[in-house]
Every structure is written in C-alpha cells, then in structure tokens.
Amino acid sequence: MKDILLITPPFTQLNTPYPATAYIKGFLNTKNISSYQIDLGIEVILELFSKDGIRRIFAKAIDLKNTSENSQRIFALRDEYIKTIDQVILFLQNRNPTLARQICSMNFLPEASRFNQLDDMEFAFGNMGLQDKAKHLATLYLEDLSDYILEHIDSDFGFSRYAERLGKSANSFDELYLKLNSDQTFIDDITLKILHEKIEMVQPKLVCFSVPFPGNLYSAFRCAKYIKENYPHIKTAMGGGFPNTELREVKDKRVFEFFDFITLDDGELPLELLYENLNKSENLEFKRTFLIEKEEVIYKNTSTKPDYKQAQVGTPDYSDLQLDQYISVIEIANPMHSLWSDGRWNKLTMAHGCYWGKCTFCDISLDYIKIYEPISAKILVDRMEELIATTGETGFHFVDEAAPPALMREVALEILRRNLVVTWWTNIRFEKSFTKDLCFLLKLSGCVAVSGGLEVASDRLLKLIDKGISVEQVAQVTRNFTEAGVMIHAYLMYGYPTQTVQETVDSLEMVRQLFEMGILQSGFWHQFAMTAHSPVGLNPEEFGVTPIKQEILFANNDIDFTDRTRIDHSKFSFGLKKSLFNYMHGINFEISLQDWFDFKIPKTTIHPDYIHDCLLEEDHFVFKSNSKIIFLSKNVIAENYIKTKKQNSWAYTRITFHLKTNVVAIELEQEKAEWLIKVFSENPVDSSKKITLQQLKIQFEENFEDFELFWFSKPIQKLKDNGVILSL
C-alpha cells in the first residue's frame, strides 16, 4: 500500500519517461510520504504492440472493399506483423541488438506505405550505423501499423498523443464530456485494465494525474472516471503543464465529476497539503487549488506557506518506472532530431523559470517562467551522481526553458572536477555568452547538443519578439557550438503578427544558409499561436492583432485572432517543412525557394553570402581582465634545447601537450616555458578556484614584461585554438 499513486496518462514519449511524476516522487521522499508512480503510456503501447495486441487488432472486422490500398496490404500481411512484432519491440528496447542485421536485409519486416520514402532516404543511410538504420526501418514498420490503427481501430491514436484535438483550445467542456460518456475505445480498454491492476496493487488514498499536454488530457479524464465509478473512496487530482496553462479559468462544474482537485504551478506544496487534508476534516489548507464547494467551482489559495526552493525538492526518483521497457525510435535520419525519441534520458532542471523572460510570444506572466531560480552547480551534479547510481543511466536532458550560460559553465567545471563521464543536452538562448571557449568546455563535460529558439530569422521581428538576439549573433553562436562538436536544433516560427510574405521568404533563406554553412543541424517550423498569458495575448492591440473572444468555461490558452496583414500564413506550412526536411539531410540547397511552394512567392532580398559574411569577424585580440582561465591539459612534456642564430644562442623549451585526439607542441623561451608549466600545475582543472586573466597578468609581470604581447603570441594562440587554454 502507498498513500499516493502518481500517473502519467497516455501518451507522452516512447523512449523515456516524462519527468513530472519522478520530480514529485523525489519531493515526497523528502517528506516521508509514500508514493508509487506509473507511466500508463508506455505500458499501453507495449500491450498494444505485442503479438496478442496486434492479433486482436487484426481480429476486428473491416470492409476490405471500402478501405485504402495501404490498409489492404497491411491486412494481407497480418501474419508477418504478428510474427515479427515482439522481436521488433525487443530490438527497440535495446534487448535484441542482433536483429539489426535481419531488419537491414530489407527482407524481414513487412513493408507498407511508410517505406515508400526509402528511395529518397537512401543517401542518409551512409551516415547511419547499422543499429540506427535498423531503428529507422523498425520505426517505419510501427508507423505503418499506426496508420492501420488510425483508419480502422481508433482515429484518435498517436504514439506521443491521444485524442489531442479534444484538449486543444477547448474553451467548452462539451465535446470532451460527450466523448467521456460514450463507449470506451480499444485503447481505453487496455488503459483501464492496466489501471485496475495498479490500483489493486497500490491501494492509494489519492491518485494524482500529471497532464503536460493536450494529447494526454482525455486519458486522464477517462482514468479518473473509472476511479470515481469503481473506487469512490479514492480522491483524484490533476496537475501539470496543461492545467497550469489552460485551466486557470476553469468554471465548468462537470470537470469535478472526475477530479476532486486541480492544482496550478509548482506542484510540491499543493500536493503536500492535499495529502495532509486527507486525514483532516477541518482547518483545511490549500495552495493554488480548484475544487467544488457548495456546488460551485472555487479557487483556494489559503495556505501562507511559501513554495519550496529548488534546493529543497530533492532528487527526481525514477523507481517504479519500467526503465528497461522504453523503446527508442528514429523517425528521420538526422542525429540531432533523433535525441527526442532515441535513448533513455534522466531529466533534470538547471534553473526554475527563464532568466530572460521577455519573449512576447511566451507565457512569461506565469510562475513557471516568471519566477527564475537557479540551482547551485554542486547540488545539480550531486543529483546527477545520485541518478546515475539509481537508474544506471549516464544520459541527461536538462529540460530548462533556457539554461543559463554561467550556470552551464559551472556545471561543466563541476563535472570535470569529479571526473564524471556523462552525456547531456539542453535548451538555450543563442546569446553571445556562448563563446568558442565556453562551447568547447561544455563539449568536454559531455554536452552533445543544444536546442534554442531562432524563431523568425528576421532582425525586425526578433526585435518585436524581444528575443534579445540577432540573426548574425545566432550564426556566430551556432558556429561556435558546431566547431566544438555540439549539435544544434533551432525552433523556427512563421506567422508572427505583422510578419509579411517577404519576411517569411527571407527567413527561409536565412535558415537555408545556416544549414548550407553546416552550422545548424536540425530544426522545426511552428506556426505562431497566440496564448492567453503571453504579452501578445494580454495586449493584442500593441501587436496588430484582434482576438476572437469566446466564453471560457474550460480551457483557455490558444486564442483565435485576426492579423491586420490578413495573410494566410498556414499556406506556407508544407513548403517550409518540406524544404527543412531536405536541408536537415544536407541536400537540395541549390533549389530555388520558389520550388518549395505551389503558389507564387517573391524573391528573397537576403544576399546569398549573408550568413557566410556574419562569420568573418573574429575577436582573437580582446583582453577581458575578469575572464576565468582554465588550463585543461595534464599531459605536458617539456624538452629544453639551445636555439642558435648568427653565433647567438638562447635557451628554449619545447612543450608538448598530448590531447585525446591530437598532439600540440609549442616553443617558448625557457624561463617563460617554466613559468607557464608552473601555472598549469598550480591551476588544475579540478581546482575549485579559477585564476582570472588579470591575476595571470600580475603573476607574469612579476617576472617578465608585456603580458599582452605574450598572451596574444602565436604559441599561446595555438594553445587557445586547440582548447588547451580556455578563457571564460
């Protein structure tokens, strides 16, 4: 028995658990409140995509004469799908790696329409290893089955979402309520069977649903309905990203036929109070909680207790979750793009909220972004070590709104100090703090990728968005990361208020050049959506848009609007995404932008060498006295020799640095070489204190003259270029 059952309803991710319940369980551990967590999504997927599940799918009668050719083919090959499904799932769970050879033989998996793209993709397989190629083919196989399920079993199915349309912009609860009072679906039957087993095992007093997205809202309600009908003594609560953004104005009493409580924003204290209230009948305290009282929806925020600081919430706890059961898929042959779906990642957060907090399209009025609170590097790396010990996984995804560069630097140094071997990636802002040296340091600590918002690649619109960056700056930062060996994904936006057709075309040209220069590896286009809690949503007239008002009884986030430009931006969607798909695979840069669209567009006004020219400026000779200097190499060999010229001789030293992948050698006058070697030995990378450039200058000039001449000399520049000396 456990006091609380934490549930992530179907569906979020296939490859790794959504972290919310692990965060909450980690906090509950600090309060000695017993809990159990389940990811219903992965459990439903594994039952659905099993020999028995696929057999049941094909047992459903279909009218072959009135179905698509694709479904006819899949149905005809049903025995092959039933035969292979269990082995394919084991392979995608990394438990049957030898199957890769059979899959890649192209004579093992049954193939339907998803495999038609293979001719176009063959070029990419040369860059993929055997395992990745097999994962990609197995993913296409699952997507074929998904197409069949959508057509004949459940039109709401999706691998990472379920009945998403019911949660999107649902100002009224009517449609969702009607669906919940209709017959259970095939997916519901599987979900509720597993839910029943878990409730019988855990016997909780309170069941809490984490609902991050519209795509797992319906299942949360369906599960809550089942609990109310079969276990009326159990209280139910909902929290997470969806209620935090969409249900801040909920008024429909019918919602509380399913949930006793809906909590907003940080969930630790609200949930702790709900737990305490279970054993009390009076003096009940609530924190940011909706409930029914006297037949009315009430919002209660009666507790005066402050929210917990990030240092107090504990380490996320992934126990109970079936970590070895998650499946890795590769939808497209792009190594950066695959990070979201391939591999198991422990999720952590460097800082609560966003340190920038100004972007006009973002929900910056809400606490999850507005309240910025970083965690110390020491606590963060302590948590990394704890998670490595408990999960056996050394991969980390920092799920920040935007990870702070200064904290990233300290985390990287702390990882190096402890000599940890980890792999990590995170979300950033493309700001000038990401110098070549910082990017190189991050790479050394295990950073393999970053994602960030370029949004609209137009300086006018970036200023209007208040992004605090320029296209030139983005180009330089992405170059710095790329040269350090860190992959970059860009979030791209079109249809921002007042955006013209010309600006959309020019933005695409900027993106084309970034990919062609090789300084951007992945991206995704989103059409602008006006949200209720963003500056655009709060003050639409300032941005040239007119909201279409609707009565809000249930969800309120995305707002329909008209833009004074009257441009139908949705018509650009297909061309933008098709061109990006090609650029991500490194092809068709030479194709005219016009060829991506089936309607007339203007020629770009961007010079064809714009991004190239942005990368020409270098700042090799800037002296920043407060920079911290990092000396990375421990493998130093010094050889003294005499240099002679025209009967004159000088004592010189050749210093050789053995790096992991190359050897760097420089020659200095012997006294300066001895001084430099001493500096290296006195300032190891695992030292907690770092010398500044000004302190280094003072030390140097106690013995020699003109530090700047030494610091910018060719030998020292060579060490800086090779990452032996970093200036941060």
pLDDT digits (tens, 9 = 90+) for 14-72: 999 999 999 999 999 999 999 999 999 999 999 999 999 999 999 988 887 889 999 99
The predicted structure's pLDDT at residue 221: 97
Q: How far apart are CA 276 and CA 274, in angstroms?
A: 5
Residues 351 and 330: their CA atoms lie apart, in Å, by 29
Contacts of 357 (CB under 8 A, 6+ apart): 364, 369, 370, 372
Q: Considering the chain, tell me which residue range(s) the CATH 3.20.20.70 domain(s) occupy.
A: 334-538+567-614
The values of phi and psi at residue 693, to 5°, are: -65, -35
Specify the amino acid at residue 355.
Y
Residues of the chain with CATH 3.40.50.2300: 4-41+162-309
* Contacts of 607 by beta carbon, 8 Å cutoff, 6+ apart: 613
Model-level pTM greater than 0.95? no
Name the token pair of 337.
């793009």
Nearest to 79 by CA among 58, 53, 96, 48: 58
Separation in Å, CA 630 to CA 369, 389, 483, 683, 694? 33, 29, 19, 8, 13
Residue (of 178, 144, 22) closest to 74 by Cα position: 144
d(CA 639, CA 651): 11
Task: Please answer whether residues 371 and 421 qualify as being in contact, where contact means their C-beta atoms are separated by less than 8 angstroms.
Answer: no
Provide the pLDDT for residue 127: 55
Record the tokens describing residue 495, joined without a space: 């249809």
User: Which pLDDT belongs to residue 220?
Assistant: 97
CA distance 668 to 82: 70
For 100-123, give one letter per residue: b (16+ CB within 10 A) or e: bebbbeeebbbbbbbbeeeeebee
Q: Where does residue 682 rank: exposed (0-12), middle (13-18), buried (19+ CB within 10 A)?
A: exposed
| Geometric angle at alpha carbon 60, from 57 and 190, rounded to 5° | 45
Q: Note the maximum CA span of the chain.
A: 103
DSSP states along 183-226: PPPHHHHHHHHHHHHHHHHH--SEEEEE--SGGGHHHHHHHHHH
HEC assignment per residue over 14-71: CCCCCCHHHHHHHHHHHCCCCEEEEEHHHHHHHHHCCHHHHHHHHHCCCCHHHCCHHH
CATH number of 334-538+567-614: 3.20.20.70
Residues of the chain with pLDDT under 70: 118-128, 169, 618-621
- Taken as a whole, the chain contains a residue count of 728
pLDDT reported for residue 189? 97
Segment holding 81, helix H or strand E: helix 78-92
The strand pair at 629-631 and 725-727 is best described as: antiparallel
- Give the pLDDT of residue 129: 81
Q: Which CATH number fits domain 4-41+162-309: 3.40.50.150, 3.30.565.10, 1.10.8.80, 3.40.50.2300?
A: 3.40.50.2300
Residue pair 337/489 in contact (Cβ under 8 Å)? The answer is yes
Give a three-class secondary structure readout of 215-276. HHHHHHHHHHHHHHHHCCCCEEEEECHHHHHHCCCCCCHHHHHCCCEEECCCCHHHHHHHHH
